[in-house]
Chains A and B, each alone.
Chain A
């Protein structure tokens, strides 16, 4: 679809060709695993959290150029952010950070947002469980 590619910004092409933070994190604090209902692509996002701050993020993506670029960008943006700040990152913000995406490719950035949200949710669930278990431990 070269008509779409010609609309890929320099930044999109840069993140597509040299994606940042590819891979997995060993013993991550949160994992997001989402599938794109639109075209069937898959994104995985791993986060490491220390004192409420996301200190590391990595991704794996099966998808188009825009999906790879947005995954790469979202891992860049999210590093150093607090959980609260990270939850506010929208797909639009990711797209804007890439100097925009073709209209047909906006749905790929939604996947990036959802992957992040689901990783944070996973983290929050896990830490809640830990809290609960430590509470019940101290009660006994």
Chain B
């Protein structure tokens, strides 16, 4: 059976050229970048080249890029690092109710440490109102953190406007750009951010590596203490092969970004339209056009998401859901609830996230099998009858 992978927001396949670029740095140029002999310097050179590439893609300077173990570390570093450096100034952080757990859970942790967190609501499309951000700022606010785009519903947030507000108030501004870097244009000056998180495996790079952009002059206490790597901002021998992989991945992303946007947005719109035509009692979650080119998120009434996903998997199609049944905590997606969906609607949510290797045939295949799956599950659904 042909496998159709439609869960690129979870992770992407590593591009073959990325793998090729990484290989020499395992056994040949395996040196420690901190060593001064040539082996070490080869590794250092490759790493610095990757740093330049990452900086170029987001309009930053290379010394503003710190490599991390991924998006989660970048988020943790940004939040805890700012808080530890600015504690004397205040204890208030502004964020949103739809952030990734890598931000939300850090906020909850900081709350337990005595910080005050404002979790801003979003509207029915998942958009944060910049005015809410402005109103939430107090003289105790030390950080604003708002994601660039939602990993679940794909809504692209008004980060640029929030950046201006943060700048006026002289408050540090972080954005989790894990879903956007390499997929839509990202420029740190245009967005007005001081900190920005990147993950390699969401843009066809390897897992376990990412980066935090830190605007020059931003005060940050390290998360990892130890050696003097990354200009003493992140201790630990650098993961050279993966960093090289990240560099290659952003290089390719930079070359392919326009093509990718066009390709994926076309497939996205085709899939959304097809689903609306072929399945009744279905609706789109997220914003109709302020939306990632690769994201489709719908709620199908009367049926539960995990059973849809399981049926799709039996047809070789990989997708995801915000249903309570599919999470270890057995709670529905906090993002869908924040958009105002009822637990039942969150239960029936389905997310498809497209990637470069997807074709029109993949979309057609989903449109071919999903209506049948939904119909079958609806014959079993006690909800349908009560609605009649």
Binding site for B on A (CB under 8 A): 1-2, 5, 16-17, 19, 22-24, 33, 38-44, 59-65, 67-68, 104, 107
Which residue of chain B lies nearest to A38 when distances are taken between CB atoms in the complex?
Answer: B330
- Which among B326, B343, B347 is the interface contact of A1 at CB below 8 angstroms? B326
Known: A17-B314, A64-B326. A41 touches B304 (CB 8 A): yes
B347 touches A23 (CB 8 A): no
**Residue of B with least CB distance to A42:** B382
When the two chains form their complex, are residues A65 and B306 in contact, meaning their CB atoms are under 8 A apart? yes
User: Total interface residues on B, using CB and 8 Å?
Assistant: 26
For B330, the chain A residues whose CB sits under 8 A away are 38-39, 107
Given contacts A44-B382, A65-B306, could you give 8 more A-B pairs where the C-beta distance is less than 8 Å? A1-B327, A17-B314, A61-B380, A62-B303, A64-B310, A67-B304, A67-B325, A104-B328
Contact B310 A42 (CB under 8 A): no
Contact indicator A40/B343 (Cβ below 8 Å): yes
Residues of A within 8 A of B326 (CB): 1, 64
Output the nearest chain B residue to A105 by Cβ-Cβ distance. B325
**Residue B344 at the chain A interface, CB threshold 8 Å:** yes
**Bound CA span A68–B314, Å:** 16
Chain A residues near B310 (CB-CB < 8 A): 5, 16, 64-65
Contact at A1–B328, with CB atoms within 8 Å? Answer: yes
Task: Determine the chain A residues whose CB is within 8 A of the CB of B303 once the complex forms.
Answer: 62
- Segment 29-65 of B: residues with Cβ below 8 Å from A: none
* A39 CB contacts on chain B under 8 angstroms: 324-325, 330-331
Which residue, of A1, A43, A44, A67, has the highest number of chain B Cβ atoms within 10 A? Answer: A1
Within 8 A of A (CB), among B254-307: 302-304, 306-307
- CB atoms of A1 and B304 under 8 A apart: no
Distance of A81 from chain B, by nearest CB (Å): 23
The CA of A62 and the CA of B386, in the complex, are separated in Å by: 12
Closest B-chain residue to A35, C-beta based? B382
Q: Which residues of A contact B383 (CB under 8 A)?
A: 42, 62
The 9 closest A-B pairs by CB, nearest first: A64-B325, A60-B382, A39-B324, A64-B306, A44-B382, A39-B330, A65-B310, A1-B326, A40-B343
In the complex, chain B residues whose CB is within 8 Å of the CB of A60: 380-382, 385
In the complex, what residues of A have CB within 8 A of residue B382's CB?
A: 33, 42-44, 60-62
- Measured in the bound complex, the distance between the Cα atoms of B379 and A59 in whole Å is 10
Q: Is B332 an interface residue (CB 8 A)?
A: yes
Do A63 and B379 have beta carbons less than 8 Å apart?
no
Show 27 residue pairs from A and B whose CB-CB distance is below 8 angstroms, ordered by the A residue.
A2-B313, A5-B310, A16-B307, A17-B314, A19-B380, A22-B379, A22-B380, A23-B379, A24-B385, A38-B330, A39-B324, A39-B325, A40-B324, A40-B347, A41-B304, A60-B381, A61-B380, A62-B347, A62-B382, A62-B383, A63-B304, A63-B325, A65-B307, A65-B310, A68-B380, A104-B328, A107-B330
